[in-house]
Amino acid sequence: MYSYQPFDKAFVRRRITQFREQIRRRLDGSLTEEEFKPFRLMNGLYMQLHAYMLRVAIPYGTFSPAQLRQMAYIADRWDKGYGHFTTRQNIQYNWPQLDNVADILEALADVDMHAIQTSGNCIRNVTADHFAGAAADEIEDPRPTAELIRQWSTDHPEFMFLPRKFKIALTGSPQDRAVTRAHDIGLQMQRDATGAPGYTVIVGGGLGRTPVIGQVIREFLPKAELLPYLEAILSVYNSIGRRDNLYKARIKITVQQVGLEAFRAQVEERFQRIRPHFSGVDQALLTELEAAFAPPEYQTADTSAFDQARQQDPIFNAWAGTNLHPHKHPDYAIVTVSLKAHGQTPGDINSHQMRVLADLAETCGHSDLRASHEQNLILPHVHKGDLPALHAALREHGLATANIGLISDIIACPGMDYCSLAMARSIPIAQQIAQRFDELEHQIGPLKVKISGCINACGHHHVGHIGILGMDRGGVESYQITLGGDHTEQATLGKRTGQGFSYEDILPAMERLIQAYLAQRSTADESFTDTYRRLGPAPFKTALYAHV
Amino acid sequence: MSKSFRPGVITANDLRNGEVVYFTAADHWSSDHTQAEWLADAAQAAQRLNRAQQDSHIVVDPYLAEAQRNAAGEPEPTHFREQFRTRGPSNYWHGKQAA
Ligand code: SF4
C-alpha cells in the first residue's frame, strides 16, 4: 500500500498544529462556535447527540495492521473501547472530548492517518471496491488511481468550498461493489478496443433527499485523461452548482437542471481548455503508485486443509459459503470478517477484536486490511490452506459470523442513537431483524437490508433490496419500507410500499414480508430480488398491509 | 416564536466533553434534566435563551426543547429525541444512563 511521503507527513502534522491552536482558542473563548465549526469540520469533528464524534478517513478503505492497532489504542485511551465503521469506509469514534482531539489526531498521524476530507463541502475521502487488488473479476486495481485522486483532491485550492460535499467512488471490476452509480462521480474501469484500461465516468448519482442513479457522461476515458476530466467536472459544478438552496446544491441536481447533454458539453469544453496544463506529472506519479500497490508475494502451499474443512466442519462450511469471495489467485480467497454478529451494532468492533484482527492480518493476510461500505472488514489475501485456522481464531473472538450477504448483514447508519440529524433510530431495528432471522437466514438466502435514520440516506436504504427509512411522524418514530433497490452495476432505486410502521410494528412487518417471499419464490434458489422482479410489489404490499 | 411556543427547557452540549446539559434557574448548566429551569412563558423563554447563548464558552448551540412537568414538578422532555438525550444510546450502556 501507499506509504506517506515526507510531504504528506508534514501536511498532516501542520494541520494538527493549526487545529490544536484553534481548539485552544475555542476553549479559552477567543473563538465562537460559529467561527470554530468550519475548522472542526475540516478535521472530521462533529457534535452529535450525546457527545462529539471524530470521523477518521480510511482512503479507499485500505489500512494496515499497525494502523488497526493504533485505532484500538485510540479507542481505549480516548474513547469507549470500540470504533464504528461507516458506509463510507471511515471509522468513527463516538465519545472523544474536545481537549483530547489534537492528541488523537497526533496518534493517527503516527501511523499516517488523519481526519481530513471527512466533512465539509470539499471532495470527500475517496472510496473504492473493498476487494480491490484481489477480486478475480478485476480488470486492474483501482487504488493507485484512488490514491492519485486523494493527493489531487486534498486541499485542492479550487475545490475547498464547493456548493456541497462531493463524493467519488471507483471500481476496477465489472461487478460494482463500490456503489459507483450513487456517487457524485463514479468511475468504472473498462478496457477499450485495444485492451487499454480506462474509465467509464458516471456523474450525478446520489441518495439522500432526492435519490438519483448516476448517468454516464463519458463512455470511455483513457487513464491519462482522468485528472483533467475530473477537474473539468468539478470546475463546471463549482461554477454553476446552486449555492442558494442546501437541498439543491449537489451535482445531481445541477445535472438534472442543466440536462446531461448540456452539462457534458460544458465539461468537455472546460476539459479541452485545461487538458494541456496537465504535463504528465500525474501519470509519472501514477506509475509510482502502481508500484506501491503491487500484489503481495503469493505463497505456494497445500490447500487440502481447506477442502477437508469444508467437507468435515459444517460451521466452517457455512462460513466459507457466505464470507469467502473468489480471489484472482486460485489458491487464495478474500475473507469478509463480519461486523454484524446477531444483536450487535452493525459496523462496531471493540479494541480487543481490532488487535486480534491486526495479528491475523499479519500472520495469514499479507498485512492487508480493508473496510467495506457495507460496514464489514476484509482480509483480501488469505491462502486457502490458512482458512480453517483463521476461521477458528476469528470464531474465538466473535468475528466469524457466517452472514455476509444475508438478511442480518445489514447496513445501518448510527441513527438517533448518535446522529444529531436523525429522525429515528436505526441500530435497534437492525439488531432486532438480525436476531429474529438468525436461524432462518441461510434458508432465506441473499438479501440486502439497508436502514437510514433520516432522509440523508447514509444507510443507503434507497438501494437496499429492502430499505428502511426512519422518520418522525407526529413525534413518534416511524419506518417506511422500500422494495426492489439494487446497489450493484444494475443500480436501482427501491419503491416505497406505503405507509410507515411504528417502532413496535416494523419487525412484524419484516416477518410478513419475508414469509411472503418464502411462500412466493419459485424455487429455493430464487432470491428475494428475483422474486420481487418477477412478481412486482403487489404480493409484498398485500403481506405488509392487508392484515390492517 | 409565541405562536408555536410550547413550554420547555433550555438544553445544549457541553463545549469540552459534548455531554448534554440543561440550563438552570441559577444560570448554571446541569447534566441532569430534572434540574433544568421550567419555562412556561414565551417571552421569558426567549429572554432565558438569550442569556444561555451568552455562555458560548461553556456550551454549544443552546435551544429550547419541549418538556412537561412530572408529578414531582420536574421537567421531562416530551419528544423521543429529547428523551434519548436524557439517557444515552440504546445499543450500549453509555452516556448519562451509565453515570
Ligand atoms: S442517514 Fe441521517 S440519521 Fe443516519 S447517519 Fe445519516 S444523517 Fe444521521
| Size of the A and B interface in Cβ pairs below 8 Å | 77
Q: Over 50: is that where the pLDDT of A129 sits?
A: yes
Looking at chain A, the whole-number percentage of residues with pLDDT higher than 90 is 98
What three-state secondary structure class fits A197? strand
Residues A158-191: b if buried by 16+ CB within 10 A, e if exposed:
ebeebbbbbbbbbbbbeebbbbbbbbbbbbbbbe
Mean pLDDT of A321-350: 98
Confidence band for A493, pLDDT divided at 50, 70 and 90: very high
Q: How many CB atoms lie within 10 A of CB B69?
A: 13
Please state the separation of Cα A477 from the chain's center in Å.
26
Residues A83-95: b if buried by 16+ CB within 10 A, e if exposed:
bbbbbbbbbbbbb
Residues of A in contact with B16 (CB under 8 A): 27, 97-99
Name every residue in A having a CB less than 8 A away from some CB of B. Answer: 26-29, 32-33, 47-52, 80, 94-95, 97-99, 345, 348, 416-418, 422, 425, 427-428, 431, 472, 475-477
The position carrying cell 504535463 is A279
Domain A411-544: CATH superfamily, name plus number: Sulfite Reductase Hemoprotein, domain 1 (3.30.413.10)
What three-state secondary structure class fits A329? coil
Give the strand pairing for A185-191 and A168-171: parallel
Domain A134-292: CATH superfamily, name plus number: Sulfite Reductase Hemoprotein, domain 1 (3.30.413.10)
Domains A134-292 and A411-544 share a fold: yes
Taken as a whole, chain B contains a residue count of: 99
Taken as a whole, chain A contains a residue count of: 548
pLDDT of residue A475: 95
Are A98 and B17 contacting, i.e. CB atoms less than 8 angstroms apart?
A: yes
CA A182 to CA A179: how far, in whole Å?
A: 6
Q: How many CB atoms lie within 10 A of CB A136?
A: 16
- The verdict on a CB contact (< 8 Å) between B85 and A49 is yes
Q: State in Å: Cα A4 to ligand 1 middle.
A: 32
Looking at chain A, the whole-number percentage of residues with pLDDT higher than 70 is 100
pLDDT of residue B1: 45
Check if A459 has its Cβ closer than 6 Å to any atom of ligand 1: yes
DSSP A374: T
Residues of A in contact with B89 (CB under 8 A): 50, 94, 417-418, 427
Q: Is B19 on the interface with A (CB under 8 A)?
A: yes
CATH of domain A6-109: 3.90.480.20
Residues of A in contact with B92 (CB under 8 A): 80, 345
| pLDDT one-digit tens code per residue, A420-466 | 999 999 999 999 999 999 999 999 999 999 999 999 999 999 999 99
Please state the separation of Cα A413 from the chain's center in Å.
11
CA A319 to CA A336: how far, in whole Å?
A: 10
Give every CB contact of residue A494 below 8 A, 6+ residues apart in sequence.
A461, A462, A463, A464, A465, A466, A467, A482, A483, A484, A485
Closest ligand 1 atom to Cα of A453: 3
Are A333 and A327 contacting, i.e. CB atoms less than 8 angstroms apart?
A: yes
CA A62 to CA A379: how far, in whole Å?
A: 10
Fold of A304-396: Sulfite Reductase Hemoprotein; domain 2 (3.90.480)
pLDDT of residue B2: 45
pLDDT of residue A548: 56
pLDDT of residue A487: 95
At residue A113, what is the residue type? M
**pTM over 0.80, yes/no:** yes
| pLDDT one-digit tens code per residue, B50-72 | 999 999 999 999 999 999 999 99
At residue A106, what is the residue type? E
pLDDT of residue B3: 61
- The verdict on a CB contact (< 8 Å) between B91 and A428 is yes
Closest CA to A424 of A432, A414, A433, A434: A414
CA A428 to CA A133: how far, in whole Å?
A: 35
Q: State in Å: Cα A451 to ligand 1 middle.
A: 9
Q: Over 60: is that where the pLDDT of A333 sits?
A: yes
pLDDT of residue B53: 97
Residues of A in contact with B80 (CB under 8 A): 416, 475-477
Distances (CA, A) of A115 to A65, A110, A155, A459, B27: 18, 13, 13, 21, 36
Domain edges within chain A? 6-109, 134-292, 304-396, 411-544
Mean pLDDT of A242-256: 95
Q: Whose CA is nearest to atom 2 of ligand 1?
A: A454
Q: Closest partner residue to A416 among B15, B16, B84, by Cβ? A: B84
Confidence band for B4, pLDDT divided at 50, 70 and 90: confident
| pLDDT one-digit tens code per residue, A376-389 | 999 999 999 999 99
CA A335 to CA A315: how far, in whole Å?
A: 15
Q: Is B15 on the interface with A (CB under 8 A)?
A: yes
Confidence band for A546, pLDDT divided at 50, 70 and 90: confident
Q: Which helix (H) or strand (E) holds A232?
A: helix A226-240
CA B55 to CA A229: how far, in whole Å?
A: 48
| pLDDT one-digit tens code per residue, A99-114 | 999 999 999 999 999 9
A57 vs chain B: nearest CA distance in angstroms? 22
CA A56 to CA A67: how far, in whole Å?
A: 12
- The verdict on a CB contact (< 8 Å) between B15 and A475 is no
Q: Over 80: is that where the pLDDT of A361 sits?
A: yes
Closest CA to A416 of B64, B10, B82: B82
Q: Closest partner residue to A427 among B13, B19, B90, by Cβ? A: B90
Mean pLDDT of A155-159: 93
